[in-house]
Amino acid sequence: MTPPHETAVITPAMVAALCAIVGTDGVIAGDDELLVYECDAYTLEKHLPGVVVLPRSTEEVAAVVKLCAEHHLPIIPRGAGTSLSGTVLAVTGGVMIALTRMNRVLEVDYRNRRALVEAGCVNAWVTNAVKSQGLFYAPDPSSQSACTIGGNVGTNSGGPHTLKYGVTTNHVLGYEMVLPDGEVVWLGTTPDGGEDVDGYDLRGAAIGSEGMFGVVTRVLVRLIRAPQAFKTLLGVFETVDDASQAVSDIIGAGIVPGALEMMDQLITQAVEAAYHFGFPLDAGAVLIIELDGLAASLDKQAAQVVEICRKNRARDVRIAKDDQERAELWKCRKRAFGAIGRLSPNFITQDGVVPRSKLPEMMRFIQRCSEEYGLRIPNVFHAGDGNLHPLILYDERDPDQVRRALAVSDDI
């Protein structure tokens, strides 16, 4: 076994053995090509893997893992590399197994509302494959146009619609995984099985385990009926406190929106500059509130939400007038991180969850941290489930800013 912190050596013979399994076009070993795999979306730390392999089947993954086990080489499973916490860093080098060529939706079982997909399948492609039949795959991380189902399993991803529909573990019925010795197992419901599983329920074991237990190769996901109708509202508030109180009051009134998202002033300004939706530049915070369900029930709920927002001093509450406006609004929200480039060359995001009732207190704390450390910290987050994303802006060319960015991250 490679001792801790000592970089694993990948010999030419090992590269040749990997090529024999996945083909020469499935192995990346050149230094400049490996740079693509040196980090994920947490770009502050970087480690090059010794080699990257791009298998096309479970058999190829199993053969690679077995070879690595025999040679005591670390393996690092990787999807799209959009994780925000350095989970795919090859800290001691080793063999990175990127699943991006195993990206197909293999089968859709409409009668049982399930789909069998390869682990490298992009999240949004699952819904795209079934939406004509009125179904969708619910977990929708904001990175869903790039991130993979295998990565979602690795991180137990949530997203804007987690508030109502839950996270990845609530929508994965079972999966195939290659264990560290190369054995292939299926955990949970099988594609041809019923919902109940005999024996121990091990399905949850690897969900959220960041690839530590093996390489997931195929996933059986639950599909659900798409809501009949949506009403998407934009609430404009003078302060984050007022917007946070409106979040608590909406849930307190027994309304469970499909999504309840907040953007503070700094991120709203950046998003507006990038995507020109028409967000007010002087608002303290905006809320995106999406109601979904039976069309007949939504008008009443929307009226209640408008009233709650107004009671919390909302300056304006708008309802998206059609599907296109709704899509535009979501595009802005889901691409908010992409707009950060307008504010700063680098950012680190934290991803923490607090009880909804603590949102105002936490947002004030983040503001104080920002002042204390002299770094700007915009916030865009899943307010309904108290899932915060303070984005700490810094410039990596300035070592003191890097130091302060790490220190303020610790504090938060």
Binding residues (CB under 6 A) for ligand FAD: these are: 40-41, 76-84, 87-88, 99, 119, 141-143, 147-148, 150-152, 154-155, 157-159, 210-211, 215-216, 337
By beta-carbon proximity to ligand FAD, the closer residue of 77 and 94 is 77
Least distance (Å) from ligand FAD to the CB of residue 300? Answer: 29
By beta-carbon proximity to ligand FAD, the closer residue of 68 and 314 is 68
By beta-carbon proximity to ligand FAD, the closer residue of 268 and 301 is 268
Are 26 and 56 within 8 A, CB to CB?
yes
Residues 6+ apart with CB under 8 A from 5: 91, 92
- Measured from the Cβ of residue 371, the count of other Cβ atoms closer than 10 Å reads 9
Least distance (Å) from ligand FAD to the CB of residue 412? Answer: 17
By beta-carbon proximity to ligand FAD, the closer residue of 279 and 330 is 330
Least distance (Å) from ligand FAD to the CB of residue 203? Answer: 14
CA pair distance 220, 188, nearest whole angstrom: 9
Least distance (Å) from ligand FAD to the CB of residue 181? Answer: 15
Least distance (Å) from ligand FAD to the CB of residue 387? Answer: 8
CA pair distance 50, 208, nearest whole angstrom: 25
By beta-carbon proximity to ligand FAD, the closer residue of 142 and 269 is 142
Least distance (Å) from ligand FAD to the CB of residue 303? Answer: 29
By beta-carbon proximity to ligand FAD, the closer residue of 242 and 292 is 292
Least distance (Å) from ligand FAD to the CB of residue 132? Answer: 25
Least distance (Å) from ligand FAD to the CB of residue 77? Answer: 4
Q: 23 — alpha (psi -120 to 50), left (phi > 0) or beta?
A: left
Least distance (Å) from ligand FAD to the CB of residue 74? Answer: 11
CA pair distance 303, 396, nearest whole angstrom: 47
Q: In what order do the strands lie in the sheet with 51-53?
A: 27-28, 51-53, 95-98, 75-78
Residues 6+ apart with CB under 8 A from 297: none
Are 125 and 143 within 8 A, CB to CB?
no
Least distance (Å) from ligand FAD to the CB of residue 96? Answer: 9
By beta-carbon proximity to ligand FAD, the closer residue of 179 and 306 is 179
DSSP string, 147-180: -BHHHHHHHT---TTHHHH--GGGTEEEEEEE-T
CA pair distance 54, 102, nearest whole angstrom: 8
Across 334-366, b (16+ Cβ under 10 Å) vs e yields bebbebbeebbebbbbbeeeeebeebbebbeeb
Least distance (Å) from ligand FAD to the CB of residue 243? Answer: 19
CA pair distance 181, 171, nearest whole angstrom: 28
Q: 43: which 2 tokens?
A: 């770009």
By beta-carbon proximity to ligand FAD, the closer residue of 121 and 309 is 121
By beta-carbon proximity to ligand FAD, the closer residue of 60 and 242 is 60
* Helix intervals (H) in 6-122: 12-22, 31-34, 58-70
Nearest CA to 74 out of 16, 23, 13, 4 is that of: 4
3-state secondary structure of 198: coil
Are 55 and 22 within 8 A, CB to CB?
yes
By beta-carbon proximity to ligand FAD, the closer residue of 67 and 215 is 215
Residue 193 burial by CB count (10 A; 0-12/13-18/19+): exposed, middle or buried?
middle
By beta-carbon proximity to ligand FAD, the closer residue of 85 and 357 is 85
